[in-house]
Amino acid sequence: MTTLTEGYQITWEKLPDDYKLPDDPGDNLNQPALAAALTESLQLTGKISVNALTPTNYGICATLNGRMVIKAPDWTYIPNIRVEREEVKRSYTPQLQGEMPVIVMEFVSDIPLLSLSGRAIARSLMRQSIQAILLEKNRSCICY
């Protein structure tokens, strides 16, 4: 599948099996707890379907002007994948393997979170806004 956007050619190609992904840790040590809490909150409230994908620090792939581009946001919500989960174990290619991500998050903070519960923070700060977002019919662009 190819998309033309004013000087850019975007194709949706699967990451080659032999492509070496970096294995260095993320820059925010608290991010995994926040991402897990967000996913768990949505699961407990029944807002995530069986075919949804909520990856964290996970390669999302596209090819831009012939060059493979991989982004790994802190947390992403993909409402529906069309392939077996085993096929998206390493990375995910929108359009080819399922829908486009409708929420992409990068967590930022100016306070140390080491003494705070990531789950409590995620639940108290994000629950209502995320639930409202997932209920929206038009999910093409969400900005924070």
Contact yes or no for 101/80 (Cβ under 8 A): no
Contact yes or no for 15/68 (Cβ under 8 A): yes
Give the pLDDT confidence score for residue 137 in this predicted structure: 43
pTM as predicted? 0.69
Residue-wise pLDDT for 3-19, tens only, equals 556 788 889 999 888 88
Average pLDDT of the residues in 45-69: 91
Residue-wise pLDDT for 58-102, tens only, equals 899 999 999 999 998 889 999 999 999 999 988 999 999 999 999
Task: Quote the Cα angle for 129-101-17, to 5°.
Answer: 140
If you ran DSSP here, which 8-state letter would residue 78 be given?
B
Q: Which residue has the higher pLDDT, 119 or 79?
A: 79
Rg (CA), the chain: 16
